[in-house]
Structure 1
């Protein structure tokens, strides 16, 4: 994901859209766009501004962007109070679905016997997603059934 995609995914679905996010940051919509597209001599958003955007929607995209650039993985921390056997089942269903998507990407990539750069990127993206969901699922199981 590139910087612009990170911001767009982070603010997607925020009530009032880009204009509302710009207002929260104390920017006009033109000022917001100038930073987003680094136009008119404007630098990209600061880390504090990115953090503020992420907190508006409680999204992981800013963390994922920096983690990906550093070779790390973002994993959701389960809310122990909200976990029960139904939630654990839902996490396992999600994990199986993501594993299926990873298998599909792998199968399609191997169809011609060569994994090209674009296919490698798609595989890496799905692998990171699978590992994050797997780790979240395991953390949730430990939170519910662990000895404390």
Structure 2
């Protein structure tokens, strides 16, 4: 079982981690996030999230109580991709929202997109190779043995 200290340590590794209550007031933010947006944790706890991060969409998840997966938003000169989940107590009472960034750097996002595009290209090529094993001669693709190998 993890200790409270170990849980806190793990939370420090999550980019863009913010937790708000049902009124969208910040109840937790890790130091990494506070440092990246240049705020003092002691000063922002209890403040409305828009007073601290004006461009966040966390309020939408508070209002709608539905997750938002890989949703872009802008912060100063950065495009961030965040995910937000509503949090519920064991009895089903809405508690608040947790938000974290999937990508906090455009270059990381761009590299990820390139990898996905590459994988799609490979899948497409494999599909075509399998689909055209016995292609009709009018396609001009040569015989199936040469094309499939």
- Normalising by structure 2, report the TM-score: 0.24
Query: RCO greater where, 1 or 2, for CA within 8 Å and sep 6 or more?
Result: 1
Q: Per residue, is there more helix in 1 or in 2? A: 1
TM-score by length of 1: 0.24
- Please say which structure displays the higher CA radius of gyration: 2
Structure with more strand by fraction: 2
